[in-house]
Amino acid sequence: MRWGRLWAIARKEIIQVVRDWRSLVIIALMPIVMTLLYGYGVTLDIKHIPMYAFDREGSQRSQDLLKGFQASEYFRIVKVVHDYREVVRGIDSGRCRFALVIPHDFSKRLAEGTTVGVQAVIDASDDNTANIVIGYCESVVSRYSQQVQIEWLERQGITNVDPPLSVDARTWFNEDLESRAFILPGVIALVMAVIGTFLTALTIAREWERGTMEQLVSTPVRPLELVLGKLIPYFGIGMAATAMCAGLSTVWFQVPLRGHLTTLFGASALFLSVVLALGFWISVLARSQLVASQVAMVTTFMPAFLFSGFIFPLDQMPLQIRIVSYFVPARYYNTILKGVFLKGVGIVELRFNLLALAGFAFLTAGIAVLSFRKRID
């Protein structure tokens, strides 16, 4: 391998990138835009759920229960209604996601010591949100029920009543339970998948469309030199994008970075090698920039978004999907990112994922080199 020929190919590719303003826009803006978009616009935290209150009794007891919902950060009473039809209209129109209906004999049954049922009407068109609302509602009602039981026991002369069981919760790695800290590390994988594969998918296809492939084939450049020369500029671009996303996440959004930068950038280099080689292979096969870009989007961005654990937990997916996810390099890279950012773990704990990325890197690099032939078909 001649370093002079490799540098000539790399310099030619750099000039192509500089001349293509669309590539420059993607390179400069995509890391910033995607980080800001996911940091501000995407959240898994469900708070201030709009609710209707239908208090059929209107007593002090029933108001105490409603105050428990008012004091919770998870609910927001937007309207107090006096008719069941208003509850139905509110749910149907989307003005509320949840309605609490308190029966007319609420206080009487509490005084008698019998079990009282309050009705929770929940919009379950979004089943995940509905399950969370049910959990929040049961938590508020359970606290109120415990308070009522303690008051009843005190009236019977039993004082100093403590609950028989309590939970002392300690949250590790994401102490504030913010979804932003969970989401933003995975954004780095999405950015690198798009930049790495999308831009390199246009390299050889661009040569075919512009009619310069014949000149490239006639040169003494070897396939390995051509592959490395084409990919080295985009490797530098991808690593710069990684640093940009990591810096923006930690400085602007205050996402903790507890691990070592060497682990972060070492894993990023492996993952970037995978997506660059995959993009080059797509470019060799497609011979059209339009087709190459579409194939690159389908084969990298979508799997990285759906099958990497970026947002959707893999352990809750069907077995067939979990098996498919093991063939998605972004799965391993996303695990490394969250381990480095949130847990602060090192190479020893992440060795399986690092070895998997290294295996994918060697495999895709070999395929990329073997796929390119210096001949005109």
* pLDDT-wise least confident of 80-94, 131-145, 162-176, 249-263: 162-176
pLDDT at 376 over 70: no
117 residue type, one letter = G
* pLDDT-wise least confident of 15-19, 177-181, 265-269, 274-278: 15-19
Q: Are 31 and 246 in contact (CB under 8 A)?
A: no
**What is the pTM for the complete model shown?**
0.81
CA 35/CA 238 separation, integer angstroms: 15
Quick one: pLDDT at residue 374? Answer: 53
The string of pLDDT tens digits covering residues 347-362 is 999 999 999 999 999 9
Q: Are strands 119-122 and 98-102 parallel, antiparallel or unpaired?
A: antiparallel
The string of pLDDT tens digits covering residues 219-240 is 767 777 777 887 888 888 889 8
Exposure string of 2-14, with b = 16+ CB inside 10 Å and e = fewer, is eeebbeebbeebe
Per-residue pLDDT, averaged over 323-337, amounts to: 93
Give 198's contacts (C-beta < 8 A, 6+ positions apart).
26, 279, 293, 296, 297, 300
Q: Are 118 and 65 in contact (CB under 8 A)?
A: yes
The string of pLDDT tens digits covering residues 87-112 is 999 999 989 999 999 998 888 888 87
pLDDT at 163 over 70: no
Alpha-carbon distances, residue 260 vs 180, 264, 338, 340, 349 (angstroms): 21, 7, 12, 7, 13
Determine the distance from the C-alpha atom of residue 343 to the mean position of all C-alpha atoms in its chain, rounded to a whole number.
17
Q: What is the mean pLDDT of the chain?
A: 84
- Which phi and psi angles does 64 have, rounded to 5°? -60, -40
Q: In what order do the strands lie in the sheet with 49-55?
A: 75-80, 49-55, 98-102, 119-122
pLDDT at 168 over 60: yes
Quick one: pLDDT at residue 120? Answer: 92
The string of pLDDT tens digits covering residues 45-61 is 788 899 999 999 888 88
Provide the residue ranges of all domains of the chain, joining segments of one domain with +. Answer: 3-43+178-371, 49-155
Q: Which CATH number fits domain 49-155: 3.40.640.10, 3.40.1710.10, 3.40.50.150, 3.40.50.720?
A: 3.40.1710.10
Based on its alpha-carbon atoms, the radius of gyration of the chain, rounded to whole angstroms, reads 29
pLDDT at 161 over 70: no
CA 163/CA 160 separation, integer angstroms: 10
